[in-house]
Amino acid sequence: MAELPSDQVVFNKPKVELHVHLDGAIRVQTILDVAKRRGISLPANTVEGMTQIIILQQPATLTQFLGKFAEYMHVVAGDRAAIKRIAYEFVEDKAKEGVIYVEVRYSPHFLANTKVYPIPWDQAEGDLSPDEVVHLVNVGLSEGERDFKIKARSILCCMRHMPNWSMDVVELCKKYQQGGVVAIDLAGDESLNSEANPEHRKAYEEAVRFGIHRTVHAGEVGPSSVVKEAVEVLKAERVGHGYRTLEDQVLYKNLLAQNMHFEVCPISSKLTSACDPDFTKHPVIRFRKDKANYSLNTDDPLIFNSTLHLDYSIAHKYMGFTEDEFKRLNIGSAKSCFLPEKEKKELVHRLYEAYGMVRSTAF
Ligand SMILES: O=c1[nH]cnc2c1ncn2[C@H]1C[C@H](O)[C@@H](CO)O1
């Protein structure tokens, strides 16, 4: 996006990122390497060439944006080494951006080639199940945590158009609750499926029963009723995007009063046409004025050709964000993360320390 500021670092301090898709955050070089190893032909064989094919250059619809995944998902899906590698490299990339805690989300079904119906991305049936995908991502993330000294947890996505996968997703959340999976999400095209299917509702009921944390993509491009349903029916503790909450002021005020967390993704919201392309009119400006609880996130940096620094630069340049607000929103993000209470407190404390906000207890 030509009019964006260059990748300057406007907030060079520890950060928390809560909304980023693993399959939207793969290195282009890795896609090329894996395609070469597996003998998969791609429309371009250089990083520059493939980047041009994958990225969204201009604002499109959410549906068009979601179509971009088909350019490369068949390369990594069903391949054990590739899945471990993308998880590992993801942690490295986040550490380089100054993220000290990240929750990364993905659909295990989209990376599998057996025990998933239909088998995605026109793959032939193989022997990699959604269950093993979660195991491999956990291994990649843990190795990344060890090598790059940050903390990474994962969120498993149900997909709006695939309700038959949702009970599986919640079962995987239960199975891997101690293995790095902290929550369930509902992603996909809310413009085509704005009311949650009963299977999604059942999965979220099960999540509540088993103490699995819950977030839902809602009010990104769909109406405020999707947000209302996410919070009231699916019992979401955080809202993915949530921009269109502002269309229902009663709902918005209720959510403010509850300190509901909004996972805001500035660059994403422009390129999916979720928001006005003029960043000076972005809903997060209202969130900030109202001292709402929200995070700043990349969402799918591969497809948006972006970094977390770029999202922060935009918030600074076009939306008037200050260092103090960056600190406040990161502390709110840490408090809204899905870690167990003790680890969450430690994370919040680390931010207070890094931001020079530790109060002396001396009298
Ligand atoms: O911004 C988004 N909105 C809705 N769904 C999304 C967004 N970004 C990625 N996804 C989908 C496509 C991915 O394959 C899936 C799981 O990460 O989630």
Inter-axis angle of helices 130-148 and 166-175, nearest 10: 40
168 Cβ closer than 6 Å to some ligand 1 atom: no
User: Ligand 1 pocket: which of 300, 302, 303, 311 to mutate (most atoms <8 Å of CB)?
Assistant: 300
Say yes or no: CB of residue 21 within 6 Å of ligand 1: yes
Q: Could you tell me what percent of the chain has a pLDDT over 90?
A: 94
Rounded-to-integer distance, Cα 290 and Cα 336, Å: 17
Cβ–ligand 1 contact at 251 (below 6 Å): no
Sort 302 into a burial class: Cβ within 10 Å, 0-12 / 13-18 / 19+. Answer: buried
First to last CA, the chain: 53
* Exposure class string for 108-132: b at 16+ Cβ within 10 A, else e: bbbbbbebbeebbbebeeeebbbbb
Atom of ligand 1 at shortest distance to CA of 268?
Answer: 1
Looking at the chain, the whole-number percentage of residues with pLDDT higher than 70 is: 97
How buried is 143 (Cβ within 10 angstroms: 0-12 exposed, 13-18 middle, 19+ buried)? Answer: middle
Find the 299 Cα to ligand 1 centroid distance in Å: 8
Predicted pLDDT of residue 3: 55
pLDDT of residue 77 exceeding 60, the answer is yes
φ, ψ of residue 353 to 5 degrees: the values are -65, -50
Helix %, strand %, coil % of the chain (to 5): 50, 15, 35
pLDDT of 194:
74
Per DSSP, what are the bridge partners of residue 106?
156
The finding on whether 165 has its CB within 6 A of some atom of ligand 1 is no
Give the torsion sign (CA, 331, 242, 265, 24).
positive
Say if ligand 1 is within 6 A of residue 185 CB: no
Tokens for 135, please give them.
Answer: 């195991």
Round to whole Å and give the CA distance between 294 and 337.
11
User: Where residue 2 falls among pLDDT bands split at 50, 70, 90?
Assistant: very low
Nearest-angstrom CA–CA distance, 292 and 242 = 12
Active-site residue, 125 included: no
pLDDT, tens digit, 9 for 90 and up, residues 87-129: 999 999 999 999 999 999 999 999 999 999 999 999 999 999 9
Q: Is cis: bond before 163, omega within 30 of 0? A: no
Atom of ligand 1 lying closest to residue 157 CA: 16
User: Is 300 close to ligand 1, i.e. is its CB under 6 Å away?
Assistant: yes
Q: What is the DSSP string of 184-225?
A: EEEES-TTT--S--HHHHHHHHHHHHTT-EEEEEESSSS-HH
Interval between CA 323 and ligand 1 midpoint (Å): 30
Q: What pLDDT digit, counting tens, does each position of 34-60 carry? A: 999 999 999 999 999 999 999 999 999
The alpha carbon of 70 and the centre of ligand 1 are apart by a number of angstroms equal to: 12
CA of 157 from ligand 1 middle (Å) equals 9
Q: Quick one: tokens of 324?
A: 């103090």
The residue whose CB lies within 8 Å of the most ligand 1 atoms, and thus the one to mutate among 21, 22, 74, 299, is 21
10 Å CB burial of residue 203 (0-12, 13-18, 19+) is buried
What's the pLDDT tens digit per position in 292-347? 999 999 999 999 999 999 999 999 999 999 999 999 999 999 999 999 999 999 99
Tokens of 85: 């590698």
**What region does 343 belong to: left with phi over 0, alpha with psi -120 to 50, or beta?**
alpha
Paired strand residues for 105: 21, 155
The ligand 1 atom nearest the CA atom of 265: 1
DSSP lists the bridge partners of residue 216 as 239
Chain-centroid distance of CA 5 in Å reads 23
Nearest CA, atom 11, ligand 1: 188
Distance 363 CA to ligand 1 centre (A): 51
Regarding the beta carbon of 187 and ligand 1, being less than 6 Å apart is answered: yes
Q: Please tell me what DSSP assigns to residue 305.
A: T
Farthest-apart Cα atoms in the chain, separation: 69
**Catalytic entry in 145, 190, 220, 263:** 220
Q: Is the CB of 221 under 6 A from ligand 1?
A: no
pLDDT score recorded for residue 279: 98
